[in-house]
Amino acid sequence: MSNKKQAGDNIQTEESNWKFKGETVKNFNNHIKKSVPLYEEGHEIICNLSKFFVKDNSLIYDIGSSTGVLTSKLSATNLGKKNTLFVGLDLEKDMVSYAKQNLSKNYKNVSFQTNDIALCDLDKSDLIVCYYTIQFIPPSQRQEIIDKLYNSLNWGGALIMFEKVRAPDARFQDIINTLYFDYKLKQGYSGENIISKMMSLKGVLEPFSTQGNIDLLKRSGFVDITTIQKFLSFEGFLAIK
């Protein structure tokens, strides 16, 4: 008997086993836009911010680039810059294959690579984007990863990091969880879809609080840090080296 459940948008899940591969890939863009509040608005903020940091000859990393949509938008936003390179890194080869087939052929300065950020080396860069990526890295590895990103950046470069965050105490967490449940119901998901997705993320998605994320950034060496978007438990940070 199958243990698979429906998370909505034709995505099947299993408890504690959410995967960014297989059938999830072709349904990912539609699913994530409905699941994460202000998802496309976050893309717009990041692209507009990139204009402050992308220069001629810049290298830009999109860590956890999934289907490559944001990486390609960043390239399109900075068409006036010369000799720029936008590199999307993702652990899942199915996501990278999708991005290569559907997007990289349209952008000469965009490449997608299957790579584990915990294992690969990074060159010097002017901008790094982690759009809902760090939350899926085991907590024991996160400081090392943020340190690696900080060290990759040139002085004056920026890390843009969006994360699902935990509330500062149990009462606020309960309120925010309820509001997010209501939000997903309004997107057309059933209660069963929402619970199936939540169960599949157990042990896979591990959010830190706002302060926990700021502490990660500060320990790596970042001093200038600010919030650039906030909606319930979804928050974007800008950190400049």
Say if residues 56 and 81 touch (Cβ distance below 8 Å). Answer: yes
Statement: residue 104 has pLDDT above 90: no
Could you tell me the pLDDT band of residue 198, with boundaries at 50, 70 and 90? Answer: low
Q: Would you say residue 42 has pLDDT above 90?
A: yes
Which residues sit opposite 129 in a β-bridge?
Answer: 62, 160
Amino acid 83: pLDDT: 95
Q: Average model confidence (pLDDT) for the chain?
A: 87
pLDDT in tens, 47-60: 999 999 999 999 99
**Contact 75/110 with Cβ under 8 angstroms?**
yes
CA distance 132 to 171: 24
Q: Look up residue 134 and give its DSSP letter.
A: G
**Top-confidence range, 65-69, 153-157, 203-207:** 153-157
**How long a stretch of residues is the chain?**
241
pLDDT (0 to 100) of residue 18: 47
**Which domains, ranges and CATH numbers included, belong to the chain?**
36-161+204-240 (3.40.50.150)
How high is the pLDDT of residue 2?
47
Answer yes or no: is pLDDT of 187 > 90.
Answer: no
Is the distance from CB of 159 to CB of 153 less than 8 angstroms? yes
Residue 221 burial (CB count, 10 A): 13
Summarised one tens digit per residue, pLDDT across range 107-156 is: 889 999 999 999 999 999 999 999 999 998 999 999 999 999 999 999 99
Tokens of 19: 């995967």
